[in-house]
Amino acid sequence: MAVEIGGIGQSVKRKEDARFIRGKGKYVDDVKLPGMLYMDIARSPLAHARIRKIDTSKALAIPGVVAVITGKDLVPLNLHWMPTLMSDKQMVLPTDTVLYQAQEVAAVVATERYIAADGVDAIEVDYEPLPVVVDPIKALQPGATLVREDREQKDNHIWHWEVGDRAGTDRAFADADVVVKQDLYIPRIHVSSIETCGIVASFDKVEGKLTVWMTTQAPHAIRTVIALVAGHLGLAEHKIRVISPDIGGGFGGKVPVYPGYVLAIGASVLTGVPVKWIEDRAENIQADSFARDYHISAELASKKDGTMQALRVKTIADHGAFDAAANPSKYPAGLFHIITGSYPFEKSFVEVDGAYTNKPPGGIAYRCSFRVTEAAFTIERLVDVLALKLGRDPAELRMQNFIPPTAFPYTSSLGWEYDSGDYGRALRLAMDTIGYADLRKEQAEKRKRGELMGIGISSFTEIVGAGPSKNFDILGIKMFDSAEIRVHPTGKVMVRLGVKSQGQGHETTFGQIVAEELGIPVADIAVEEGDTDTAPYGLGTYASRSTPVAGGATAIAARKIREKAKLIAAHLLEANPDDIEWKDYKFQVKGVPSKSKTMQEVAFAAYTNHPQGMEAGLEAVDYYDPPNLTYPFGSYICVVDLDRGTGEVKIRRFVAVDDCGTIINPMIVEGQIHGGLTMGLAPALYEQINYDEQGNIQGGTFMDYLLPTAMETPNWETAKTTTPSPHHPIGAKGVGESATVGAPAAIANAVVDALAHLGVRHIDIPITPWKVQKILKENGVAE
Amino acid sequence: MRFEGTLDIAAPRDRVWSFLTDPKQVTTCAPDVQSLDVTDPRHFKVVVRAGVGPIKGTFTMNVEFTELVDQGHATVVARGQAPGSAVELRSTMDLSALDGTRTTMKWASDVTVSGMIQQVGARLMQGAADKITQQVFSCIKAKLEAPVTA
């Protein structure tokens, strides 16, 4: 029975894959409208420069070029600046100064994509180079080159944010037996989704209605932003339709509003003709929002016996030229204060300072719930530094310190209330699966022979599912989410959601929640997202919030339907509603299983034979405001062998034990974990975007930015424990990002472990062969 | 990036000097010149097509002789832009007469390239620069060492 329904816990095959694997997905670039024009963007080659002159005459002379837009053209429309999702603003096009390389300088609209590109090449810009600052630490020093002349504040400091007990933490450090300190840099990386960003904007001058198809993870929020930014141009929210079609990966990079979107919308509103803009790969890496870029200094205080007591963290956050991160308003450093991780620190204090530099904006949550990756990496690295200092086994030290399962709900010293967890169980399972004790023996023997093998652990705790409206909003919009369920007369179902899948499998998993709650086979349930004209309002998909928030809305909306359905069933069964129970996916008269009605029978009756006095139909909406966040966790163990000749790190084994509470679809969860692990491997060993002193990007193409492929990816071994969230309607916690968050520390810890006997305590990621080989050479152990 | 070298030319110093400091003459040896616009003896604007590997662009270069000393020492600053790329050259040149018919030129250039050409072509830059340098210098030698025709 359960398998036919395809409810919670079943590995139902992904419904969306039928079109994806046939190449029948419909992405923004598949949208083609009659008379559509194409836009391309001229970008700055310099990281900081005054624009003396922009000569568009040669571009305009090219047959097929319809218009060239510069910043000065946008001034009368008041569209040359736009608000970011944080309390900052960002240039749409510059009027006089460019602040980073690849910044948008002008846009060309033409009858063909290639003509638009020719137009871009024909634009002549006379730049006067200005001094460049790319290092946030230098940017915060007195006398540093000023990035943002438009601000009243004449330095590069954006904000200071702190949380915790500063004085108490300082006292705890002063009194501690043992203090370890580690500086870490978590480099700037890019989400590099397969599909780049793009838009088709179509303004109907007769109806006054704007329809946009765009690559956005948050279509409703975008609709509201368009109404707020362009309201003065006559765009009202009921005449704006945002459609987010199939998306080829988002990972946080498709949350912000990019200037290209605004330009294409502006071009369509002015011309009344549809305008398409699709960025190319280099534009995507060079100009779209980056992730990470945190310079962290972390200290941990403990007793001699290893009992962790206090944590103190100071961070400089490089936000580029505009603070265009997409954090909840209240938290400029996101949820970085989950940095206490899986350990019960009595005292802790965290402070973060944001800095402007001549680099592209961002600080987006790359497959992590707002700076959680930075936090998890720091604490899990720091615990290993402490283990080395104390000469303790890192697994044993973790076991000694974990927040015990009996302590939940547990309130951390930085104010988060962890919902549930059993960290020791997850680590034990990971140790048993990988054979931890035997690996340590093997390592000791290999060390005697001069072979370099390391074992790394990461026992991370995540914080996802933003979020409770009392604390979480973006631009003032509370971070609830929504589901609307309609059961048709024949028992088939339409579910519409305020979130938006980018590959996560929502059409399947949300169908399974409804299937479980209503007893209707998942095959009979259609899930639709991403069209603001039809879907209920929601904040979108990022920060692993779809299942914790929209999943809650879906379950509760389905339960509202079931409540009404029960009354109809009682009517059909001629019984008192109190005598009706929901059992085996049917309404039964208590104790009389032969007297039952299926949901399909009830649905038909809801339209054909509903009780007099009751509203006809069978549908429900729920806007779910979660009472708390959810706290998925896991323990990962990685085994590496180092090549003493090349310095290459070879991942021999990687065991990932995840606990994301109730699992809706085990196959999809496993897929999420595999993808997440690969995206955790990426920054650990390969990915980094650097800039030279002139602000030239050093990783602006896939020649220089090394994305792991199947060649680099090891065989991931996954396992699970299940500790349901006590406050979530189905006990689910969210898993989309756990592996990205947890994996980098396990890999880095393994490499440091392989070199620890040489005195190595830390290596900044990405741990490239060059870095390892340098250490090997310095210690005379290179081959 | 810094490039430097020495070039022996079988021509008297005054002839080498007047060739290299005359915008009209010296640009005959620049790669793929599209146009030349001499503002005054010390300033000129030249449009050249250059690139690294498949990444080519038309560079509009504003060139200034910042120092011209005693037919022996010169410095040049050239700043230019191509779509998506920018380049700045700061060059010095010192001429010394080996004898009445031969001249040695010591030269050095600091080149800053930004944008597309830098991003895509960084690892090809040295080779491309060497090739252009070689072409330019063999052109200069050929022109200066040719018999003087009235």
Is residue B150 situated within a structural domain?
no
Is A84 in contact with A322 (CB distance < 8 Å)? yes
**CATH code of the domain covering residue A68:** 3.90.1170.50
Token representation of residue A554: 């879906």
The amino acid sitting at B105 is: M
* Mean pLDDT per 10-residue segment, chain B (150 residues): 92 94 92 92 91 78 94 93 86 94 94 82 80 89 81
CB A461 within 8 A of CB A364: no
> Is the domain of A7 the same as that of A81?
no
Residue range A158-171: mean pLDDT, rounded: 98
Its domain, for residue A242, covers: 31-130+197-278
Tell me the pLDDT of chain A averaged across its residues. Answer: 96
Give mean pLDDT, residues A338-361.
Answer: 98
Domain that holds residue B118: 2-145
Residues in chain B: 150
| Contact predicate B65/B75, CB 8 Å | yes
Torsion of CA A548, A551, A553, A557, to 10 degrees: -150
Please check whether residue A99 lies inside any domain of the structure: yes
Asked whether A732 and A665 are in contact (CB, 8 A), the reply is no
DSSP A157-196: EEEEEEEE-HHHHHHHHHH-SEEEEEEEEEEEE----SS-
pLDDT at A348: 98
The answer on A120 and A12 residing in a single domain is: no
Which tens digit of pLDDT belongs to each residue from B55-78?
778 888 999 999 999 999 999 999
In a domain, A370, yes or no: no
Q: How many interface pairs between A and B have CB atoms less than 8 angstroms apart?
A: 49
The answer to whether the beta carbons of residues A422 and A405 sit under 8 Å apart is yes
Q: Are A136 and A317 in contact (CB under 8 A)?
A: yes
What's the pLDDT score for residue B149? 61
* Same structural domain, A125 and A12: no
Cβ pair A696:B60 closer than 8 A: no
Contact A464, A737 (CB under 8 A): yes
Q: Which of B79, B119, B120, B125 to mutate to test the interface with A (most CBs of A within 10 A)?
A: B119
Number of domains comprising chain B: 1
Average of per-residue pLDDT across A586-597: 96
* Stated pTM of the model: 0.94
A552 and A576 co-located in one domain: yes
A539 and A564 co-located in one domain: yes
List, in sequence order, every residue forming a beta bridge with B115; answer none if it has no partner. B85
Q: Measured between CB atoms, which of A101, A123, A703 is closest to B114?
A: A101
Cα A746 to the center of its chain, rounded Å: 20
- Percent of chain A residues topping a pLDDT of 70: 100
Would A212 be classed as within a structural domain? Answer: yes
Kindly state the average pLDDT of the residues A84-89: 90
A698 CA: distance to closest CA in chain B (Å): 6
Q: Residue with structure tokens 């990405």?
A: A766
Residues A630, A419: Cα–Cα separation, whole Å: 6
- CB contact (8 A) between residue B114 and residue A121: no
- Among chain A, residues having any CB pair with chain B shorter than 8 Å are 42-47, 101, 120-127, 129, 282, 286, 694-698, 700-701, 703-704
Length of chain A: 783
- What is the C-alpha to C-alpha distance for residues A343 and A329, in angstroms, rounded to an integer? 27
Of the given ranges (A17-26, A226-235, A392-401), which has the lowest mean pLDDT? A226-235
Q: How much of chain A exceeds pLDDT 90, in percent? A: 94
User: Once rounded to an integer, what is the mean pLDDT over residues A363-371?
Assistant: 90
Place of tokens 């179902």: A493
Structure tokens at A126: 């006379």
Among A624, A658, A689, the domain boundary falls at A624
Domain contains B31: yes
The tens digit of pLDDT for each residue in B94-108 reads 999 999 899 999 999
Nearest residue in B to A105, CA atom: B84
Residue A524 falls inside a structural domain = yes
Average pLDDT, integer, range A483-493: 98
Residues A7 and A126 in one domain: no
Catalytic residue among A14, A43, A367, A562: A367
Rounded to whole angstroms, how far apart are CA atoms A148 and A145? 9
